[in-house]
Amino acid sequence: MEQERKLSKIEHIKRDSRFLRGSIQEALEDGSSHFSEENIQVLKFHGTYQQDDRDLRKQLTKEGKERHYTMMIRARIPGGVLNADQYLQFDRLSDEYGNGTMRITTRQTFQLHGVLKGNLKATIRAINDVLITTLGGCGDQVRNTVGCAFPHEGPFYDAVRRDILALVDSVSAKTNAYHEIWLDGERVDPEVDRERETLYGETYLPRKFKIAFAYEGDNCADIYSNDIGLIAHRNGDQVAGYTLVIGGGMGRTASDKQTAPHLAKPFCFVTPDKLIDVCRTVISIQRDFGNRENRKFARMKYLVLERGIPWFRGEAEKRLGYPLDEPRELVWHSADDHLGEMVQGDKVHLGLFIENGRIADKPGMALKSVLREIMMAYRPGVRLTTQQNLILTDLTREQATEVTAKLEEAGVKLASSYTPVKVRSMACPALPTCGLAIAESERVLPGVIADFEKALQELGLQDEPITVRMTGCANGCARPYIAEIGFVGRVIGKYDILLGANLVGTRTNRVFREMVPLAELVPTLYPLLQAYRDERKPAETFGDYCERVGIEQLQDRFVPVS
C-alpha cells in the first residue's frame, strides 16, 4: 500500500488503462471535440497528443466558447527512412486532415498538426496503410529510434540497418490495443497482453526512452542526448560490435536546480548477437528502478546519476548472466548534418535545409508543392535527419540536375546558399500548438538568426559554424543544451542564454544569462562575439572559446551588474 500511495497520477492512469486501451474507443464515438485527461495520457502511447490553438485561447474564453482542440500525430519511422509513396501519404494527409504543413522532428520523423478529433482514426489508419505506425511515437516507452541519415551503401551499413530494425521490433509495445482501436483489429482480452508485454509490463516505463545509432566519428544524430547511444564499429565489411553509452537526456525544470541535462556515459561494448539482450536489459533496469513518484526525475539519466555506472553495470551483468566488455574509446570528427550534393558511385543525393523542419508553402518559396512534384516525378528515396532536414536519395546525375532546377524555380535555396549559422540552427514548434511552451520558438528564431547573421557579418565572423538552438521551454526538444548558443524560453518574450557546448555534441553548455528579452538576445551576445573574434586561438570555435575562458569570467565581463 505504501508503494501504491507514492505512485504518480500518470502511473495510476497507465496501470488502469488495460494495456493502453483506456476508454479511447468509446471517446472516438462520443461526438465531443476533445478527450478526457486520462485518455490524453494513454493516447500518447499511440503517437498522438491533444493540443489547442493557444493564439485563440483568450478570445474563445472571452466569448464563452471551449478551446479549439486539435490533435498532433507523430509517426514512428526508424532512422527516418521513407519511400516516395510514404512521403506522399503524409503530404496528402497534412492537407486533407491537418493544417497543411508537415513538421520534421529532431527524432527523424513526421508530425502532423491540426487534426480534428473526428478525423484522428482515419489519419492514423491511413498512415498504417503505407506500412508506417504511430505506436511508439510518444509516451513512456522507447520512442522513434534514430541514426545517421546519410544513405550509406555496403554490407557494413546494411548490417547496421538490420540491427536497428531488429532492435526496434524487440523493444516495441506488444499490446493489441493499437490494432483494435485504429485498425479495427480483432479484440482480445487485455489479460492476453499481460503475457505479451514482457518488457514493459502494465505500467510501461517511468518516462520516455530514446535510442540512437551512430557510426564512429559521425555524431550527426547527437548520440549523447539519448538514454542509450549505440556506436557501430567496423571490421572490414562486418560490424565488429557497438559501444553503448547510457543515461543521456536534455530536459530540465528551470525552477529546480536539481534537474539538468546530462550526456550519456560510456557503458560497455557488445557484439551484434548480444545487442538486443543488452539493450532490453538496460531498459528493464530503468523500468524496475526508475522514479515513478516524481516525473521530473523519472528519466534514466537520474537513475544513472544516482546509482552510478558501476552499479548499473553490475545489475545488468546479474540479469544477463555474463560479464560485459569495456566500452571502446570513441573519437568524433563531426556532428554536422548531411546537406548539399553528395555523390555515391553513380547515385546523387541532395540534402536540403528545411528551416526548423517545417515543410510548407509560403510566399516566394513553394517548398511543399515542389517536393510533392519531385516525389511524383522522380520517386526518390527520402531520409529525414535528426537536425530537422531532408535528404532526397538515389537520383541519377540527370535527375539531380533537374531536381535542383525545380527547387530553385520554386524559390527553394540549396544548403550552400545559406550561412553556416542558419543551416545549424534549430527550434522546437512551441507556440501556438505545444501545451508546454511558455515562450515562442519556431516563429521567432528566423528573425533572431537574421539579426545574428548581420552581427556576424559586421564582425567578420560570417563563415564561423556557430550552432544556435532555441526552445520555448526548458524541456529541450531542439537539444539547446548541446548547442554552442542555446536560447531557452523562461516566460513569454524572455529566454535564458546558455553557452559553451562544442561542435561534436560531447559537452553541454551552461547558463550565461537569465531572462533576456527576445529583442536583446543578439545585442547581449554582440560584445562577447567581438571578444571571441579578438581573443580566439587559431581554429578555435566559439563554444571552445567560451569553455576556455569560463562562463564565470564571461559573466564578469559581459553581464551588467543589476
Which residue has cell 551588467? 560
Tell me if residue 434 is catalytic: yes
Q: How many CB atoms lie within 10 A of CB 325?
A: 13
- Per annotation, catalytic residue among 103, 477, 479, 507: 477
pLDDT tens column, 388-444? 999 999 999 999 999 999 999 999 999 999 999 999 999 999 999 999 999 999 999
> Among the CATH numbers 2.40.440.10, 3.30.413.10, 3.20.20.70, 3.40.228.10, which is that of 1-9+138-175+188-336?
3.30.413.10
Tell me if residue 174 is catalytic: no
- Per annotation, catalytic residue among 287, 473, 507, 546: 473
CATH 3.30.413.10 residue spans of the chain: 1-9+138-175+188-336, 421-558
Strand order, beta sheet including 494-499: 426-427, 468-471, 485-491, 494-499, 510-517
- Per annotation, catalytic residue among 210, 301, 469, 507: 210
- Per annotation, catalytic residue among 207, 208, 368, 490: 208
- Per annotation, catalytic residue among 138, 148, 434, 546: 434
CATH, domain range 421-558: 3.30.413.10
Tell me the three-class secondary structure of 197-255, residue by residue: CCCCCCCCCCCCECEEEEECCECCCCHHHCCEEEEEEEECCEEEEEEEEECCECCCCCC
Could you give the CA distance from residue 485 to residue 488 in angstroms, rounded to a whole number?
A: 10
Which pLDDT does position 188 carry in this prediction? 93
- Per annotation, catalytic residue among 44, 107, 143, 424: 143
DSSP at 45: G
Write out residues in the chain with pLDDT < 50, as ranges: 1-4
Tell me if residue 210 is catalytic: yes
Tell me if residue 74 is catalytic: yes
- Per annotation, catalytic residue among 14, 428, 490, 510: 428
Strand partners, 192: none
- Per annotation, catalytic residue among 21, 74, 107, 368: 74
Could you give the CA distance from residue 364 to residue 212 in angstroms, rounded to a whole number?
A: 36
Q: What is the pTM assigned to this prediction?
A: 0.97
User: Does CATH number 3.90.480.10 belong to domain 338-418?
Assistant: yes
